Chains A and B, each alone.
Chain A
Amino acid sequence: EVQLLESGGGLVQPGGSLRLSCAASEFTFSNYAMNWVRQAPGKGLEWVSLINGGGTSTFYADSVKGRFTISRDNSKNTLYLQMNSLRAEDTAVYYCAKSYSGYHAFDIWGQGTMVTVSS
């Protein structure tokens, strides 16, 4: 079964850092762009970042640009999100999501990992 499994969430103080991981299985990981999408408690969805299949191109939402870095290790079928200078407004469930073929619609989602930024 095609699957994405996030890990690395937790409680962090404002200004701190956290690295999220997303392990992919049962598809050719390197063939697809991958994304991070977040959802603050009780709120809607917000796209955070995308990386292409080869890891050579990245895109970010303005709200995280300069603070978050997306990367991938295709040899390990794993996607990452390095989050620095965290703020209270970064508190959310973070989902990794696979882009569908040549479209940037998201056909496979992980179960999400909660990040809480609080002192």
Chain B
Amino acid sequence: EIVMTQSPATLSVSPGERATLSCRASQSVSSKLAWYQQKVGQAPRLLIYGASTRATGIPARFSGSGSGTEFTLTISSLQSEDFAVYYCQHYNNWPLTFGGGTKVEIK
């Protein structure tokens, strides 16, 4: 099983600032990596797939990069609606696994 490790667990950021979230895989997942946003009481929302392709309707301030074992989600200028928990997930092989999440909170 591929273990996905996200860091930091919590990120405190001021509105308008840049946020950088990391995700590391215990073995290569190529570019088969997705990012999700989840707000309290809601289902997750797909942000990024293929490590760097934004899903339909996702604002350009969200960007993904990386391949192999190291991945980054960047939110260029945090808006109030971006404060949430973010998860990475690989889909390179079975079982599919998620990272533990990074909570982005208001500083």
Interface residue ranges, A against B (CB under 8 Å): 35, 44-47, 50, 59-62, 95, 100, 103-107, 109-112
Contacts and interface: CB of A to CB of B under 8 A. Distances in A.
Given A44-B100, A47-B89, A100 B49 contact: yes
Interface residues of B, number: 24
Contacts of A46: 98
29 contacts: A35-B96, A44-B98, A44-B100, A45-B36, A45-B44, A45-B89, A45-B101, A47-B89, A47-B98, A59-B94, A60-B95, A62-B1, A62-B95, A95-B43, A95-B44, A100-B49, A103-B32, A103-B49, A103-B91, A104-B91, A105-B34, A105-B49, A105-B91, A106-B36, A106-B89, A107-B46, A109-B43, A109-B44, A110-B43
Nearest to B35: A105
B96 A45 contact: no
Given A44-B87, A105-B34, A61 B43 contact: no
Nearest to B6: A44
A34 B49 CA distance: 17
A59 B89 CA distance: 16
